[in-house]
Structure 1
């Protein structure tokens, strides 16, 4: 479970699903339910076959107690996995630490914790404190069941029954209470940490429960570096940049329902580290983009293209300024924006074990496509990016070349008829024929939506020049 959760975080698959419209609630419910069903199936077979081969551990003890014990521990284990996953961003490290915990707690339970339990002079309070560790709780429960099973078999009596929970030397009741309370607390903490953690690319907010208060009173963040350079930047603006800024200011004053995207003096400054100065990535970008238009952003590496896209899709927060997608503010309404947004990130965010068709089915369902419309949309998407013929769409993505993965990412960004699409260097790794086909796809797709795509200006092909109404010359427009 830990490996699965950290893998989705490491590969940024979770944030990719969120950008395609999957909310946190359904993600948690589906993941939790998946782990719970697997655990229940495993424990059912565990108890069934243990009883079938005649082990007294299962046959003698009351099955109701066993079911309750395993049920509570299963839920605690899942909550614990979610909680621990918040602290890892590497699958390898998480796997190593996970195995160390599993085997370490088992060995410590057998060769250390057991002697504390059997020592009548050892404080019961300290034992309860040690049982806060889920591995020790599991060991104590199994130990009690084993002791009652052994006693019942030796003396010809029954094993642990419900009335035995009142026995002061029986720790099962304390274990059930500790695990139940810890399960609830761990789940709440895991959800909170998931929201505030920035590991894995999502925006974290430590004041989650005071978010409304923070938005109401907190002034826009702006570093001293940005403040010092703001006046200079305004003075050096070119005529077309100043004109675009005036257009944005006018649209903000009037009704802007026809504008798909409006950026209002959007800025991003990364704080300096180790004595280095702050890094200005996006400098006062003002932009109005109507529906039915493809806007190309050109600039060399480091110009700020990806920083702009990251702010627009909710990966990072703007230092100052804001932007609107169909009237929704990126600072407060990202959940609503996600439902009408498509993203082709700079790096392909895909499951290696899923096929291309399975990716498109999954993301199309997130866009509420069903039945025949779902199948048609998936097949049309595969055909548009040349992944349909020859059964390519039914192969695992792990077998795809870099160009094939890139084409699949483009298809994912356009599935489900999103109203706004961001493509961050979509032509990277494509051969000339595939690149030309990509521009044809973009030309066709822009009819009903607004598209923002970026590219290095030295690799932007001439055929794209007719896809948009205005294309700034390098360096990158207003960044």
Structure 2
């Protein structure tokens, strides 16, 4: 594995490595992508199916223009003729109308129980008493104001006649001579006025009603004649002193609190302004209740022309006398061709369904980001040299590309199957809208990922947002948008939530496509964005600002919270500060701590003094220098603080493998975590290749390799693809990269048998471990950390791994933690035994065995009745012998080396065999395991006593 490094990888090299890895990962998940894209396809097909079923019903004869067999030529043969005269009310709207009927002009009359009366809201005494509502005899009120009250009274008196008599033979032509009105809801055209077939009465507005003022007339509607009732209603003209007073009464009379029920309504209000005999200047207030302000066209026509005609006719009579009249005969619609009744369900259901289609990308992106965080793959990439810049650029571009392809397929498929929602609206507006929203959605996913550490939790929350946003948007927010009385400012506040912005934009597309399909016109165009009733412009502005803001906040939070050990909240100010030197002089605080460690073992104190001397030098060959490194975890729930690492000082030169031994919980992993940037030291620091881990961790990562305690791998990537990715991060290219990958795979016995090209998720535990070791060594890192690298390996693989590590340590510093004494003795140039956060001893294996193993271990097994003879034998060899084991005739003793000769031991055993039976015996030197147990027990006993 002697690959050659070419210096730290550049920004674009790192970006290329991550892009290649993501594309490979995406190729492995092709089935998941197909299922993802299939969701909008299935939804669009479902809308098409619903549309086809509805169209089938609408195409039935009872829903089309009525037809009949008519003898048009008098030859006795009938022909099928369709027209309004053969249609009922349901069929009439679809018929061609070459000569639209003439309808008398109408006023919009308030319902009898909603007409203005005296109340606590409108306490005017000239209004009628509320008791008239019980009898249905309330008049309709007109409010008058202006600069000339006398002129106003004259004009008001000229508006309505004192009486009007209709006979049973009255026709529509005669009805136009009276002032008529209706409480029915008007339609958007005048082909068929609902006032003449709705069953509601038609009102004849007069100055005074007589007892016999109700008549019935026959009105021709479509192919039938409808008998309509014409009732008299009195017009009550009331003067007000100012237009402000009129406006106040109109506003208060329209609604009471938040109630939708209209009370105290006024028929109309007239402000004569400065009108006089030479000048006619008017303002008219009218009821626009039946106009749909949230849509793009009026649902109901406004019945305003008759109000204008009344006051104009009254002024004309004021000038020319009562015999002069300006007649208003009728209103009528333009001719129309035959039409088909159609309901575009993609527009009706689009805001709800398509919200779900688009927002479902959010949990997909979120889960992917949280997966890398949960599996610690993000920090693994960072520890091998991937900078935040390339990671953000490629990850963002990667998710943006996937989202764009998804949206392109969605719009293209919807257009291909003919959904009006897509085909009628301008594609450029759709492009801008979807472009901005998917960018905002990706930025939100990056921000949300910082607050999740579990993929399942993030996924559940993400899909709750999907369905919750769609339902709240369709069944709550949409009602607010359509309610003209709801404050527009609050609509904007709602749209600050991105899901509601999306729903509002889809709602606008749906409104324009529905209307365009119904009227045969275009959908939304860029010019329509200037319409005050169109909310698309404000949605685009809100989403653009939020996208940039959320993206900035997400990056900031990632740097402070989610990126490795995190940075200071004011990290962006560091560039304005003078960078401190890599090495620093020992501070006074460090000097004060020396008294605390004077009781350390001489070898530990010597290592500390060596570190202090190295810190004073400007250049050094030591790759790793730990300076009084401490880690304290604060106490919780009443428990005391936990000292994981207590003032560790250590120096490693190039070419040395340092083994860290210690029992579980001793602090080895905490030490490694600080060195690789996973956690921050409580105090002290360390220098890697001369760079401080507190300040220059990003630079340190470029020359560092890590084999963590738990394998951090992508399940869907192969072993070769893992090494290619990490090799590129270490700036290996071309032939050098290929060679390094092959050597790495051969070195850890993963090259042959197709193992290298098998997905890592199918590896055994030992194979994953070997791959992790190979990853840590590829690219010639100068510093390598291996946390229990041989865990789970079989003897053959372990021996092969040891050979790899021995070759790799030639020109790099390696820190290795292990529980295998054999591994430590074979691989490590020096060992340190770590107990309860402190380094207890340090040295090479021979030194430690010599220092802590100054005794032989004598073992003998006899029958139980000769155990005392064995004890006497040992006492004869050494008076200071110490029994360390005794079970069923087997006894072990420690014999000080300086008191015992090996020849004497053999002689004593031979003599003992002549006196009693010896089943087995042995004499062994101290092993490293014995040293480890002795040091660990001694340190733990000391800590308990202290």
Q: Under TM normalisation by the shorter chain, which class is it?
A: over 0.9
CA distance 1:446–1:124, shift in 2 (3 Å): same
Contact 2:680 2:694 (C-alpha < 8 Å) held by counterparts: yes
| Residue of 729, 747, 767 corresponding to 1:404 | 767
* Aligned residue pair count: 466
Counterparts of 1:453 and 1:460, CA distance in 2: 12
The aligned counterpart of 1:426 is 789
Q: 1:306 and 2:306 equivalent?
A: no
| Residue of 151, 157, 178 corresponding to 2:542 | 178
Counterparts of 1:378 and 1:18, CA distance in 2: 20
Q: 1:71 and 2:435 equivalent?
A: yes
Q: Which has the higher contact order (CA 8 A, sep 6+)?
A: 1
Query: Which structure: larger Rg?
Result: 2
Contact 2:666 2:834 (C-alpha < 8 Å) held by counterparts: no
Counterparts of 1:116 and 1:32, CA distance in 2: 35
Counterparts of 2:437 and 2:385, CA distance in 1: 33
Q: Post-superposition shift, 1:231? A: 6.4
**What do the CA deviations read for 1:318-342 (whole angstroms, capped 9, x no partner)?**
1111111111111101111000000
CA distance 1:284–1:465, shift in 2 (3 Å): same
Q: 1:471 and 2:831 equivalent?
A: yes
> Where in structure 2 are the equivalents of 1:440-459 lying within 5 Å?
440-456=803-819, 459=820
**What do the CA deviations read for 1:446-468 (whole angstroms, capped 9, x no partner)?**
00211110112xx221x542544
Contact 1:356 1:395 (C-alpha < 8 Å) held by counterparts: yes
CA distance 1:149–1:473, shift in 2 (3 Å): closer
Contact 2:658 2:832 (C-alpha < 8 Å) held by counterparts: no
The aligned counterpart of 2:283 is none
**What do the CA deviations read for 1:415-453 (whole angstroms, capped 9, x no partner)?**
111011000111111222222222211110000211110
SS of structure 1 residue aligned to 2:830: coil
The aligned counterpart of 1:223 is none
Counterparts of 1:316 and 1:467, CA distance in 2: 27
Runs of 4+ in structure 1 off by over 6 angstroms are 212-217
> Where in structure 2 are the equivalents of 1:383-398 lying within 5 Å?
383-398=746-761
Q: 1:131 and 2:492 equivalent?
A: no
Bigger mean CA deviation after superposition, 350-359 or 250-259: 250-259
Q: Post-superposition shift, 1:45? A: 1.6
Q: Post-superposition shift, 1:213? A: 8.4
Q: 1:275 and 2:672 equivalent?
A: no
| Residue of 326, 329, 332 corresponding to 2:689 | 326
Counterparts of 1:131 and 1:473, CA distance in 2: 61
| Residue of 478, 482, 487 corresponding to 1:118 | 482
Counterparts of 1:305 and 1:473, CA distance in 2: 10
Determine which structure has the larger strand proportion and give its number. 2
Give the structure-2-normalised TM-score.
0.48
SS of structure 1 residue aligned to 2:485: coil
Q: 1:347 and 2:347 equivalent?
A: no
Q: Post-superposition shift, 1:235? A: 2.7
CA distance 1:154–1:473, shift in 2 (3 Å): closer
Counterparts of 1:396 and 1:131, CA distance in 2: 45
| Residue of 601, 609, 623 corresponding to 1:238 | 601
Counterparts of 1:23 and 1:191, CA distance in 2: 13
| Residue of 371, 382, 406 corresponding to 1:42 | 406
Q: Post-superposition shift, 1:85? A: 1.0
Q: Post-superposition shift, 1:236? A: 1.9
Contact 2:818 2:824 (C-alpha < 8 Å) held by counterparts: no
| Residue of 451, 460, 474 corresponding to 2:821 | 460
Counterparts of 2:834 and 2:668, CA distance in 1: 12
The aligned counterpart of 1:29 is 393
CA distance 1:61–1:120, shift in 2 (3 Å): same
Give the gaps of 5 or more residues in structure 1: 218-225
Q: Post-superposition shift, 1:13? A: 0.4
The aligned counterpart of 1:162 is 526
Cα RMSD, aligned residues only: 2.1
The aligned counterpart of 1:378 is 741
Contact 1:289 1:450 (C-alpha < 8 Å) held by counterparts: yes
Q: 1:356 and 2:716 equivalent?
A: no
Contact 2:623 2:653 (C-alpha < 8 Å) held by counterparts: yes
Q: Post-superposition shift, 1:361? A: 0.7
Give the gaps of 5 or more residues in structure 2: 1-364, 581-588, 841-946
The aligned counterpart of 1:221 is none
Determine which structure has the larger helix proportion and give its number. 1
Q: Post-superposition shift, 1:211? A: 4.8
Contact 1:420 1:451 (C-alpha < 8 Å) held by counterparts: yes
Counterparts of 2:771 and 2:487, CA distance in 1: 61
Contact 1:36 1:75 (C-alpha < 8 Å) held by counterparts: yes
Q: Post-superposition shift, 1:233? A: 4.4
Counterparts of 2:539 and 2:832, CA distance in 1: 67
Contact 2:403 2:438 (C-alpha < 8 Å) held by counterparts: yes
**What do the CA deviations read for 1:86-119 (whole angstroms, capped 9, x no partner)?**
1100000000000000011001111111111111
Contact 1:56 1:153 (C-alpha < 8 Å) held by counterparts: yes
Q: Post-superposition shift, 1:204? A: 4.5
Counterparts of 2:546 and 2:423, CA distance in 1: 29
Q: 1:19 and 2:383 equivalent?
A: yes
Counterparts of 1:216 and 1:274, CA distance in 2: 40
Q: 1:249 and 2:612 equivalent?
A: yes
Bigger mean CA deviation after superposition, 86-95 or 422-431: 422-431
| Residue of 779, 789, 799 corresponding to 1:436 | 799
Counterparts of 2:770 and 2:572, CA distance in 1: 40
Give the structure-1-normalised TM-score.
0.93
The aligned counterpart of 2:26 is none
**What do the CA deviations read for 1:366-420 (whole angstroms, capped 9, x no partner)?**
0111111111111111111111111111111111111111111000000111011
The aligned counterpart of 1:51 is 415
Q: 1:194 and 2:194 equivalent?
A: no
SS of structure 2 residue aligned to 1:472: strand
CA distance 1:36–1:474, shift in 2 (3 Å): closer
CA distance 1:35–1:296, shift in 2 (3 Å): same
Contact 2:657 2:830 (C-alpha < 8 Å) held by counterparts: no
Counterparts of 1:454 and 1:416, CA distance in 2: 22
Q: 1:107 and 2:467 equivalent?
A: no
Q: Post-superposition shift, 1:232? A: 7.1
> Where in structure 2 are the equivalents of 1:199-238 lying within 5 Å?
202-211=565-574, 233-238=596-601
Q: Post-superposition shift, 1:473? A: 4.6
The aligned counterpart of 2:779 is 416
Contact 1:342 1:422 (C-alpha < 8 Å) held by counterparts: yes
Q: 1:144 and 2:508 equivalent?
A: yes
Counterparts of 1:472 and 1:194, CA distance in 2: 36
SS of structure 2 residue aligned to 1:145: helix
Contact 2:732 2:779 (C-alpha < 8 Å) held by counterparts: yes
